[in-house]
């Protein structure tokens, strides 16, 4: 049966090179990096080499990288860690309204801890306006967190401009780059950010590993207390095999990124053009130009995204609604609500994410199989062909 | 407890927010990169460091100069002796 896997933002296979490099660290080279004898110190050295490889990928130095269990943990550490460390200076944080839940819910958690949080509005493409950010800053603001690229609509934010606003006012700036590292070029010096989160799963490393870049001048309150791992900033015996996988995946990404970007961009453009030509009443979401190269997102009118995902899966095509709210909580995605998509239209959200393994044949198969599936769902829809009110409602916060 | 005021230093090690035993591990590493006679300023909010660091200096042969209380942390000064 023909098929297409276009849900690489959810899960992507571990690179064979990464897996091969990891395997000895499960059973042959199992020493604890904290041990002082040679079995441990050799592993410590390996961990530090991987740290340098991850740092290289984003233009950082090894001492500026903290390994975490995921991108979500890196986001939690950045937001809560900075907020708690700086709470004597002020108790106000700013995040955008379209952040990943690990950022949004960290900010909401801080609200419960007597901080104030501002959830910054975005424009119709999902972009945060630097002027709007400047106006939201108060003397109490200690941290701003704006994602580098949005996982649901693919938009790349103007991080350089946003970070500059914060630098000028002496406010710490964090960016969640989980969706972008490994998919487009990311350099902490060019972006001029103080903290940046990344995830191994986006890079072809295994799930369960991430990293936080932090400017060494920043104080960070640890969230996990215990031993001396990660220089006392994140306790817990290191997940050495996963760290080795992340290091290898980072090394491969540095070498392969330019070719990957051009490959996925070409196929993504073919997919977008093909869908817009073949399917009527479909809205392309996110920024038209400033977006992740392998990312295409749409809202199909009068179609339930969830139903579309299931029917496509029956045809061997794997995509995503892009939002846990839409998929599991049966609510409208906060991201689509924030960019002004009507609640009924937002229900038809479908996100396609490509990677270096994606082929032209997969894209052409999607273009062949998708239109009849959309037609079939619309033929069963009670709202197809009816006028809908022009407002967004029932947004999941 | 020996208190000092306006003590100058050649390098600063910020350990605020970090717990025991980082205040006993990191100064040694940082002093390795410094010259004999130079002064390291250690910032910490861990009370235990007030006893531990002078004791550690004795054991390692460095001179403990003293402590200064800042708004949100303690500043401890160590002169590298060897």
| Residue A81 with chain B: CB contacts under 8 Å | 17
Q: What is the pLDDT of residue A327?
A: 61
Our count of domains for chain A comes to 2
At A31 the pLDDT is 94
Query: Hey, is the C-beta of B47 within 8 angstroms of any chain A C-beta?
Result: no
Chain B residues whose CB is inside 8 A of the A233 CB are 18
Instruction: Provide, for chain B, the percentages of residues in helix, strand and coil under a 3-state DSSP scheme, each rounded to the nearest 5.
Output: 30, 30, 45
| A187-191: long-range pairs with CB below 8 Å, 24+ | A187/A58, A187/A59, A188/A58, A188/A59, A188/A60, A188/A64, A188/A213, A189/A59, A190/A59, A190/A160, A191/A148, A191/A159, A191/A160, A191/A163
Neighbours of A395 (CB within 10 A): 18
Contact B72, A88 (CB under 8 A): yes
Question: Is some CB atom of chain A closer than 8 A to the CB atom of B24?
Answer: no
Annotated catalytic residues of B are: 20
Task: Find the mean pLDDT for residues B14-38.
Answer: 95
Q: Is residue A133 part of a domain?
A: yes
Domain that holds residue B66: 11-79
Q: How confident is the model at residue B5 (pLDDT cuts 50, 70, 90)?
A: very high
Identify the domain containing residue A286 by its residue range.
4-10+257-380
Average pLDDT over residues B46-53: 95
Q: Give me the residue from B18, B71, B72 closest to A232, CB to CB.
A: B18
Measured distance CA(A86)–CA(A209) in Å, rounded: 27
User: Is B3 among the domain residues?
Assistant: no
Structural tokens at position A394 = 């029932």
Are A248 and A264 found together in one domain?
no
Reduced to 3 states (helix: H, G, I; strand: E, B; else coil), residue B8 is coil
Omega cis (within 30) before A23: no
Question: Which of residues A234, A253, A272 is at a domain's end?
Answer: A253
Instruction: With respect to residue A385, please indicate whether it lies within any of the assigned structural domains.
Output: no
A35 and A163 within one domain: yes
Q: Does B29 touch chain A (CB under 8 A)?
A: no
Check CB contact under 8 Å for B22 and A231: yes
pLDDT at position A392: 47
For the cut 70, the answer to whether the pLDDT of residue B3 exceeds it is yes
B33–A contact, CB cutoff 8 A: no
Q: Do B17 and A225 touch (CB under 8 A)?
A: no
| pTM for this model (two decimals) | 0.94
Residue among A83, A218, A228 with most chain B CBs within 10 A, to mutate: A228
A227 touches chain B (CB under 8 A): no
Chain B residue nearest residue A226, CA to CA: B19
> What is the pLDDT at residue A214?
98
Within-domain flag for B53: yes
Going from the first residue of chain A to its last (397 residues), give the mean pLDDT of each consecutive group of 10, the final group possibly shorter: 92 96 97 94 97 98 98 98 97 97 97 98 98 98 98 97 97 98 97 98 94 96 96 96 98 96 98 98 96 97 94 97 67 91 93 97 98 96 75 49
The confidence score (pLDDT) of residue A391 equals 52
Closest CA to A173 of A157, A192, A187, A158: A192
């Amino acid at each position: 049966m023909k098929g297409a896997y276009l849900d690489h933002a959810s899960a992507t296979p571990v690179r064979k090179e990464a897996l091969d490099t990891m395997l000895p660290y499960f059973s042959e080279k199992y020493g604890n990096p904290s041990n002082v004898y040679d079995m441990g110190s050799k592993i410590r050295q390996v961990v530090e080499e991987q740290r340098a490889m991850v740092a290289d990928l984003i233009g950082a130095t090894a001492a500026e990288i903290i390994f975490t269990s995921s991108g979500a943990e890196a986001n939690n550490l950045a937001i809560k860690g900075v907020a708690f460390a700086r709470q004597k200076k002020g108790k106000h944080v700013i995040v955008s309204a379209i952040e990943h839940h690990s950022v949004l819910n960290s900010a909401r958690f801080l609200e419960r801890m007597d901080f104030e949080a501002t959830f910054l509005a975005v424009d119709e493409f999902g972009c945060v306006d630097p002027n709007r950010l400047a106006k939201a800053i108060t003397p109490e603001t200690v941290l701003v967190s704006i994602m580098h690229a949005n996982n649901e609509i693919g938009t790349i934010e103007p991080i350089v401009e946003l970070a500059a606003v914060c630098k000028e006012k002496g406010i710490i700036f964090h960016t969640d780059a989980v969706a972008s590292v490994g998919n487009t070029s990311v350099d902490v010096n060019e972006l001029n950010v103080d903290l940046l989160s990344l995830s191994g799963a986006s890079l072809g490393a295994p799930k369960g590993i991430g990293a936080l870049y932090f400017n060494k001048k920043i104080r960070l309150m640890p969230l996990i207390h215990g031993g001396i791992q990660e220089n006392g900033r994140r306790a817990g015996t290191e997940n050495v095999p996963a760290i080795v996988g992340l290091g290898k995946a980072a090394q491969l990404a540095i070498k392969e990124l330019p070719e990957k970007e051009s490959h996925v961009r070409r196929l993504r453009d073919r997919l977008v053009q093909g869908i817009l030509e073949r399917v009527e009443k479909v809205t392309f979401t996110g920024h038209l130009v400033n977006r992740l190269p392998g990312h295409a997102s749409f809202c199909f009118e009068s179609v339930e995204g969830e139903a579309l995902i299931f029917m496509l899966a029956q045809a061997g095509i794997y995509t995503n609604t892009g939002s846990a709210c839409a998929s599991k909580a049966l609510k409208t995605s906060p991201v689509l609500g924030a960019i002004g998509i009507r609640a009924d239209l937002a229900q038809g959200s479908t996100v396609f994410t490509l990677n270096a393994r994606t082929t032209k044949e997969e894209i052409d198969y999607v273009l062949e199989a998708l239109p009849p599936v959309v037609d079939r769902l619309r033929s069963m829809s009670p709202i197809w062909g009816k006028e809908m009110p022009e407002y967004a409602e029932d947004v999941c916060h | 407890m020996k208190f000092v005021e306006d003590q100058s230093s050649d390098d600063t090690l910020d350990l605020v927010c970090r717990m025991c035993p980082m205040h006993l591990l990191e100064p040694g590493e940082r002093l390795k990169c410094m010259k004999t006679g130079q002064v390291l300023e250690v910032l910490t909010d861990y009370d235990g460091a007030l006893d531990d660091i002078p004791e550690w200096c004795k054991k390692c042969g460095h001179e403990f100069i003293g402590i200064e209380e800042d708004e949100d942390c303690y500043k401890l000064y160590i002169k590298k002796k060897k």
